[in-house]
Amino acid sequence: MPHIRFRKIETHHVKTLSETLLKPLATEIKCADDWLTFEHIQSTGFCHGKSHAGNPFVEVLWFEREKEVKDNVAKLITNEIKKLIDSKEITVIFVPLQEVNYYENGEHF
């Protein structure tokens, strides 16, 4: 926790991001780096009945953080993706998790 999910970006790029983003994100979020999970989600976008690659889409699932932390995390993620691929638009969204709904190994977190 936090869980970072990547769509519309190749698996090998996510692997690289799991290395280059690990320490900066852990520092910004103020968590141990082994708490961060990077996940590649294979997806196909469609428009007008045809598939298209689309732009990178990143979801950050975590317990709510301040806007300044969100701003900094979004910039870190965006800047690292731009080092790997040429994309006009990179979307980063934050999905707040509620502690009351979070369990690990069947136990409330």
**Is domain 3-43+54-108 annotated with CATH 3.30.1520.10?**
no
Indicate the pTM of the whole model: 0.91
The tens digit of pLDDT for each residue in 43-88 reads 988 889 999 888 999 999 999 999 999 999 999 999 999 999 998 8
Rounded-to-integer distance, Cα 2 and Cα 96, Å: 10
